[in-house]
Chains A and B, each alone.
Chain A
Amino acid sequence: MALVLDEEQRMLKDAAREFLTANAPVAQLRALRDERDPLGYRPETWRAMVELGWSGVLVPEAQGGLDFGHVGMGQISEEAGRTLTASPLFATAVLGVSALVLAGTGAQRAALLPAIVAGELTLALAFDEGPRHDPNVVATRLRKSGSGWVLDGAKAFVPDGHSADCLLVSARIADSAQLALVLVERAAPGVTVERVVMADQRNSANVRFAGVAVASDAVLGGGEDAGAALSRLADIGNAHLAAELLGLAQEVFQRTVDYLNTRKQFGVLIGSYQGLQHRAAHLYSEIELLKSLVLKTLQALDAGSDEVPVLASLAKAKAGEVATLATNEAVQMHGGVGMTDELDIGFFMKRARVAEQLYGDHRYHLQRYASLCGY
């Protein structure tokens, strides 16, 4: 498949850029932070996204979605990376929808997906249990009790964990090696949610489950092993985080280049100094390399290719490295003003690091890639 966007994908990307820059620029995130907004995003922005159909980009047509695929959704993720827009897009429209599509029964999909499309339901994937991504550590337990189940355990750094209506929780089925993915209302008895304010000011929460009753129809897939689905979910999450980081890197780089073309020292534009030109040109080619990996990964997801795990790790690893470089160089090349809160540059740096840590930084993904290749 050609490594270019088709006409519809390009239109979606343009529309996303237009909407986000007009309605949810970095200033919005800054305001949410300054106001210590309890929700962490603007409901009217989310509502407008829903009206644009973004909540249903990954939802099959049968459940009222656009079924537009990961390449399409990835363009929105990328554009939202440029504007650092906080919204339920990632947790609900990417991860929540994908979890239901991958692991849900027909009945579960029919019940929940239309509600997501309509903007009536938001979700959060409660997956990791510690500060560093490790899919092998799942101490949260699900045990049989009467006709249903009981959930005990704790999850850490759950994106949208304190704001979503329901949580999708990964757990090990007691006395087995099997994993399950269960749907729990955030307000259900036994669930304690503690918001964690992260450097990037985006939503995150630690969540505890103490004897939480789970009805049998709230177990995705009716109790079939969810291990493969969880691993694919992490790949999907990483592909979209890589797309977001690509958008973020491009935007912060563009702002840096603009600054190099306006700021003067010693009577000349600082962009005329080769010491800065070469670093900027190097960063440019790094971003070009990243673009190709991201697009290939999104295409692989849509094609259901065997290469998804390998590509998702390569894309996320490269995205983490490139976004780190782009934001570090941005601050340095802005000089003193780059250190100020007044300039947006710092917001990009903080988001870059949080997005990189989520579901594995470049170190994790380089190691995972090597393991997947057998070395």
Chain B
Amino acid sequence: MSDLEQFRRETRAWLETNCPQSQREPVVEFEDRCWGGTKWKFTSDDQKRWLEVMAARGWTAPDWPAEYGGGGLNKEETKILREEMQRIGARVPLFSMGLSMIGPALLKYGSEALKRQHIPNIVKGKIWWCQGYSEPNYGSDLAGLQTRAEDRGDHFLVNGQKVWTSYADRADWMFCLVRTDPAAPKHAGISLVLFDMNTPGVTVKPIRLISGKSPFCETFLDNVRVEKDQLVGELNRGWELATYLLTHEREMIGSIGQSNVDARLYPAAIAELGLVHGQLADSALRTDIARWEMDHRAFELTAERITDEATAGHGVGAASSMLKYAGTEINKRRHELLVAIQGQRGLVWEGDAYDHGITATQWLRTKGNSIEGGTSEIQLNIIAKRILGLGRE
């Protein structure tokens, strides 16, 4: 038996023993997904145990180096672990911007001290990280950001405002883009710094969304002291890190349509509408669902193919923009169809009898998928310029 087969067998057995049954149920509510951090309230002992056993093996971050607490798995093993988790419908034990964004950036650009300070806590889900990128006047044009970090010898003094900061009210730390050289061209004067959200001068104000929830905030930074050793990478080279990190963010958002459950829509449609002569009664909806399932399958296979191509050493750069664009647009269509399948019921807002409007709130939340992490239009710009080479004189 090859090492990989051996690994698969052991992994399967280990997951079978260690993954609690409740953690194999589909993710429905936001809290079903564990985000970790000091303010996290576990929904059950199972959720806590599942995080702990996985983190102990470093399997919350399977392909990160073991010396910082990661799983130390190679690409093939990582893929096997993912497949085996999917096989039993295991939930991802930890979902965080630490894992998907700042962690990879620290591993690539961070000092040894920063890695030792932050990576193990990310793996264990001890700290909830938030992302301080967007500002009121600088969204798509992120590189124009104006939040200032002044050099005060042993520390930076940060002043400015961030907006749309997801979960700033629950987060422990922020990774934040700041302007450290106002005289330099806009891309060349930016740095990436880290600070504790409890630092004096940090104020957060939740913003209510169309979904009725308040998952993001305005974040005001007023004379916030940031220690110099919390600068990631080189001073004024933050744009490179910012885009590296955005690549990871896009992959994560793009993969949002992939979950631990069968995402296909037709079982719900059959349950809701019934069959007439073996077919859904609404033939237009039938076609819409089939076309969605075609695109969804194609998307999942594409994510897999691109991973496989990278493993084999011939990938395309900027693939993350294509995956982000396609994945989020497909996910938006999925939720439009989920509402359509349920008719009026899909639009109920309140009430025990109607799942408290989960269908409607989720549908509305997905509208943000093609905005957050760079809008669909920005992804199309990137594909056009970087992959297709359009518009270069």
Contacts and interface: CB of A to CB of B under 8 A. Distances in A.
Interface of A: 2-4, 257, 260-261, 268-269, 271-274, 276-278, 280-282, 284-285, 288-293, 295-296, 314, 317-318, 363, 366-367, 369-371, 373-375
Contact of A285 (B266, B279, B325, B393): B325
| CB-based closest 6 A-B pairs | A272-B391, A277-B384, A292-B301, A281-B383, A271-B390, A3-B305
Contact of B298 (A257, A281, A292, A367): A292
B322 A285 contact: yes
Contacts of B385: 277
Nearest to A289: B298
A278 B308 CA distance: 27
Contacts of A280: 384, 388, 390
A291 B380 contact: no
23 contacts: A2-B311, A2-B312, A3-B304, A3-B308, A257-B389, A261-B392, A269-B390, A272-B393, A274-B381, A277-B384, A277-B388, A278-B381, A281-B379, A281-B383, A282-B325, A285-B383, A291-B305, A293-B298, A366-B291, A369-B290, A369-B294, A370-B266, A371-B279
Given A277-B381, A285-B383, A292-B298, 7 more contacts: A277-B390, A284-B383, A289-B326, A291-B302, A366-B290, A373-B290, A374-B278
A4 B310 CA distance: 10
A264 B389 CA distance: 15
B289 interface: yes
Contacts of A290: 298
Contacts, number: 136
Nearest to B313: A4
Given A2-B308, A271-B390, A375-B266, A289 B377 contact: no
A296 B270 CA distance: 27
Contacts of B289: 370, 375
A375 B275 contact: yes
Contacts of A277: 380-381, 384-385, 388, 390-391
A4 B381 contact: no
Interface in B308-346: 308-309, 311-312, 322, 325-326
Contact of B279 (A3, A293, A370): A370
Interface string B269-288: 11000010011100000110
Contact of A261 (B278, B286, B390): B390
Contacts of B294: 293, 314, 317-318, 366, 369
B293 interface: yes
B293 A281 contact: no
B4 interface: no
Contacts of B388: 257, 260, 271, 277, 280-281, 284
Contacts of A260: 388, 390
B297 interface: yes
A185 to B, nearest CB: 41
Contacts of B380: 277-278, 281-282
B31 to A, nearest CB: 32
A6 to B, nearest CB: 9
A135 B156 CA distance: 73
B289, B312, B388 — most chain A CB neighbours (10 Å):
B388
A272 B385 CA distance: 9
A293 B299 CA distance: 9
Interface in B223-250: none
Nearest to B309: A4
B295 interface: yes
A370 B308 contact: no
A254 B283 CA distance: 36
Contacts of A367: 286-287, 290
B13 interface: no
Nearest to B385: A277
Contact of B270 (A274, A285, A375): A375
Nearest to B388: A257
Contacts of A363: 287
Contacts of A281: 325, 379-381, 383-384, 387-388
Interface string B364-393: 000000000000010111011101111111
Contacts of B295: 289, 318
A276 B301 CA distance: 27
A295 B305 CA distance: 9
B326 A257 contact: no
B387 A284 contact: yes
A269 B392 CA distance: 8
Contacts of B312: 2, 4
Contacts of B384: 271, 274, 277-278, 280-281
A273, A280, A374, A375 — most chain B CB neighbours (10 Å):
A375
Nearest to B294: A314
Nearest to A253: B388
A259 to B, nearest CB: 11
Contacts of A289: 295, 298-299, 302, 326
Contacts of A295: 301, 305
Contacts of A261: 389-390, 392
Nearest to B269: A375
Nearest to A274: B381
